[in-house]
Amino acid sequence: MVHFDKPTYTVRRTRKKEIPHGLYTKDPVTGESVFTKELEDNQMVVPKSGHHFPIGARQRIAKLVDEGTFSETDAGVRSADPLGFVDSAPYPTRIKKYEKESGLPEAVICGTGKIHGIPVSLAVMDFRFCGGTLGSAAGEKITRAIELAVADKCPCIIFSTSGGARMQEGILSLMQMAKTSAALGRLAAAGLPYISVLTHPTTGGVSASYATLGDVIQGHDEADAARRVSDLGIFAETRLGGPDCKPT
């Protein structure tokens, strides 16, 4: 009588290879995974769907200006606490938190540079710092960037992203709307162009002031202010005499 032994099998267990964190980014529009490096090379815009991911101020500047031409101005202008504001935390404590989380001294980075060899004065807001809100320091930096364009006789470009005026500074933050708008009036009187770029989100006092006062206003479809400008049919008349202010 022949006996057969039941064969034994050994199961080899292999560890699933983990994908390095941050290698891919999921596109919320299509659900597809995109190489993060490909996104960064395309200024955080998904090539296929056109979705815009947030981009930091310094990263945007590095992609925008000619290499080695950017010089930051007014880096020492920072938020104070004129009202001694306290809610769930003192305002100065919040400012320190925003500085640590964003790596920025304020909600806007300003400076001069060249784009294709053309000198420009830049102000680029960053939503990571207190939601890009407009306080006294941010308003002062933007005003100085506009005044620098007048002094240097060059175009001024402002990239906006903001939740509006900064409530912790009360009426002082609201005054920045008038101050920046008055500076843009002086820029216009000098016959110099102002280009406003609306990124998502651009709302409140910022969209009610300098963000929508450009000779040319550009904004991707997801930018709140860009949609409102488009829906209402509000197109600024440039000094050349035509409506040149359409969101793209």
Q: What is the pLDDT of residue 173?
A: 94
Q: What is the mean pLDDT of the chain?
A: 86
The fold adopted by the segment(s) 54-232 is 2-enoyl-CoA Hydratase; Chain A, domain 1 (3.90.226)
DSSP assignments along 93-128, one per residue: HHHHHHHHHH--SSSEEEEEEEETTEEEEEEEE-TT
Q: What is the pLDDT of residue 243?
A: 40
Judged against a pLDDT cut of 90, whether residue 94 lies above it is answered with yes
C-alpha of 169 from chain center: 21
Q: What is the pLDDT of residue 22?
A: 75
Closest CA to 197 of 176, 214, 182, 185: 214
In the chain, what are the domain boundaries?
22-51, 54-232
Q: pLDDT tens for residues 17-54?
A: 677 777 888 998 888 889 888 888 888 889 888 888 88
Place of tokens 């002094």: 151
Quote the percentage of the chain above a pLDDT of 90: 62
Closest CA to 232 of 246, 213, 248, 244: 246
Q: What is the pLDDT of residue 20?
A: 75
Q: pLDDT tens for residues 168-184?
A: 999 999 999 999 999 99
Q: pLDDT tens for residues 9-19?
A: 677 776 666 77
Please give the single-letter amino acid code of residue 3.
H
Q: What is the pLDDT of residue 40?
A: 86
